[in-house]
Amino acid sequence: MEKTHRVSSKIISNIPVLILEGDITSEADADIMNEYRQLKEKQAPFYCIIDFTKTKYINSAGIAILINIIQDFGDFGGKVIFTGLSPHFNKVMNIVGITDFVTLYATNEDALKNI
């Protein structure tokens, strides 16, 4: 079965960016967590941007993955930033309360200007 998601990362101005594409479901869990752990080990960052620009769908399992990352980052006082949320995803994140624990910016560039 072909994957319905893609997970990648990059470093911009010394800040790790986790890029989520496609459907963020339980199928994406291992890929997201592996990429996140690699970023964390290489960078030991205080900030982490999660880019949703190319995300098409997220379900409760996908939300749980994000919560795990937010909690992990929060354990050492780190800050998670979401960028590229569509109006629908913004609403979903508000409803489930995630926006109380992350900062939102329209673009990675906006986030970097404010870090």
Position 77 scores a pLDDT of: 86
CA distances 56 to 4, 21, 66, 101, Å, are: 10, 7, 15, 22
Domains of the chain: 5-114 (3.30.750.24)
H helix runs in 1-115, sequence order:
29-43, 60-75, 87-96, 108-114
Phi, psi of 50 (to 5 degrees): -115, 115
Dihedral over alpha carbons 6, 10, 15, 17 (to 10 degrees): -10
Tell me what percent of the residues of the chain surpass a pLDDT of 70.
99
For 78-87, the pLDDT digits (tens) are: 899 999 999 9
Say how far apart CA 55 and CA 47 lie, in whole Å: 21
For 8-44, the pLDDT digits (tens) are: 999 999 999 999 999 999 999 999 999 999 988 887 7
Position 41 scores a pLDDT of: 84
- Structure token pair of residue 48: 């982490």
DSSP class of residue 2?
A: -
Position 60 pLDDT exceeds 70: yes
Cβ contact 41:9 at 8 Å:
no
Position 43 scores a pLDDT of: 76
Position 45 scores a pLDDT of: 77
Position 98 pLDDT exceeds 90: yes
Phi, psi of 24 (to 5 degrees): -100, 95
